[in-house]
Amino acid sequence: MSEEKQVFKDDSQLRQKTMIADHYSRLAAAPDTGEKSVYTFVPGNLTELIRNFDLLPVLPEINALQSAMRGKSKEYIAAAEREGHSEDVCTYVKCDVGMKRAGNVGPTGERLPDPDLLLLSYTGCFTFMKWFEILKQEYDCPVTMLHVPYQGEGEITDSMRKYVVDQIKQKIIPALEKASGKKFDIDKLREQLRRSAQAEDDLVAVLESAKNRPSPIDAYFGGVYYIGPIFTAFRGTEQAVDYYRLLNQEIQERVRLGKGPVTPDGEMKEERFRLVVEGPPNWTNFREFWKMFSEEGAVCVASSYTKVGGVYDTGFRHDPDRPLESLAEYCLGCYTNLNLPSRVDTLERYVREYQADGLLVNSIKSCNSFSAGQLMMLREVGDRTGVPCGFVESDLVDPRYFSGSNIKNRLESYFQMIEQKRGGVQV
Partner 1 sequence: MNYCVGIDLGSTTTKAVVLGESGEVLGRGITNSRSNYEIACDVSVGEALISARFGLLEEALAAEGVEADRRKVQLEELEQGFREEQYRGDLRELGSVMGRLLEAGTYSAQEADAVTCVLDKMEQNAGSLYGRGKSRKSDFFRDLAGGEYLELVEGEAKTRALSFDRLVGLYDKAILEVENTVAHDESFSSRIKAALGRIPEQDALLAKAISAVVAMNLTKAGSVGTGYGRQTLPFAKEDIRSEILCHGLGAHAMFPNTRTVLDIGGQDTKAIQVDGNGIVTSFQMNDRCAAGCGRYLGYIADEMNIGLHELGPMACKSTRPVKINSTCTVFAGAELRERLSLGEKREDILAGLHRAIILRAMSLLARSGGIADEFTFTGGVAKNPAAVEALRKLIQENYGERTLNISPDSIYTGALGAAMFAQREWRRRHCA
Helices 186-208 + 223-231 axis angle, to 10: 170
Can residue 89 be called a binding residue for partner 1 (CB under 8 A)? no
DSSP character at residue 426: G
Sign of the CA dihedral 183, 184, 188, 192? positive
**Shortest Å, Cβ 411 to partner 1:** 9
Can residue 373 be called a binding residue for partner 1 (CB under 8 A)? no
Which residues, 348 to 367, sit near partner 1 by CB under 8 A?
365
**Shortest Å, Cβ 383 to partner 1:** 10
Q: Which has the closest alpha carbon to 92: 132, 63, 58?
A: 63
Helical H runs in 181-232? 186-208, 223-231
Can residue 427 be called a binding residue for partner 1 (CB under 8 A)? yes
Task: Tell me the residue length of the chain.
Answer: 427
Can residue 416 be called a binding residue for partner 1 (CB under 8 A)? yes
Contact yes or no for 234/198 (Cβ under 8 A): no
Can residue 86 be called a binding residue for partner 1 (CB under 8 A)? no
Distance CA 15, CA 9 (A): 10
Which residues, 100 to 139, sit near partner 1 by CB under 8 A?
none
Q: Which of 84, 103, 315, 424 binds partner 1 (CB under 8 A)?
A: 424
Q: Which residues pair with 389 in a beta bridge?
A: 359
- Binding residues for partner 1, rule CB under 8 A, total 23
**Shortest Å, Cβ 403 to partner 1:** 6
Can residue 393 be called a binding residue for partner 1 (CB under 8 A)? yes
Strands 298-303 and 273-278: what pairing?
A: parallel
Can residue 412 be called a binding residue for partner 1 (CB under 8 A)? yes
163 vs 391 by CB, closer to partner 1:
391
Can residue 157 be called a binding residue for partner 1 (CB under 8 A)? no
Can residue 161 be called a binding residue for partner 1 (CB under 8 A)? no
DSSP H or E segment with residue 274: strand 273-278
Span of 6-14, 36-44, 63-71, 410-418 interacting with partner 1 by CB under 8 A? 410-418
Distance CA 331, CA 325 (A): 10
291 vs 421 by CB, closer to partner 1:
421
Contact yes or no for 339/152 (Cβ under 8 A): yes
Distance CA 280, CA 396 (A): 7
Can residue 372 be called a binding residue for partner 1 (CB under 8 A)? no
Can residue 409 be called a binding residue for partner 1 (CB under 8 A)? yes
Site of interaction with partner 1 (CB under 8 A):
365, 375, 379, 382, 388-389, 391, 393, 401, 403, 406, 409-410, 412-413, 416-417, 420-421, 424-427
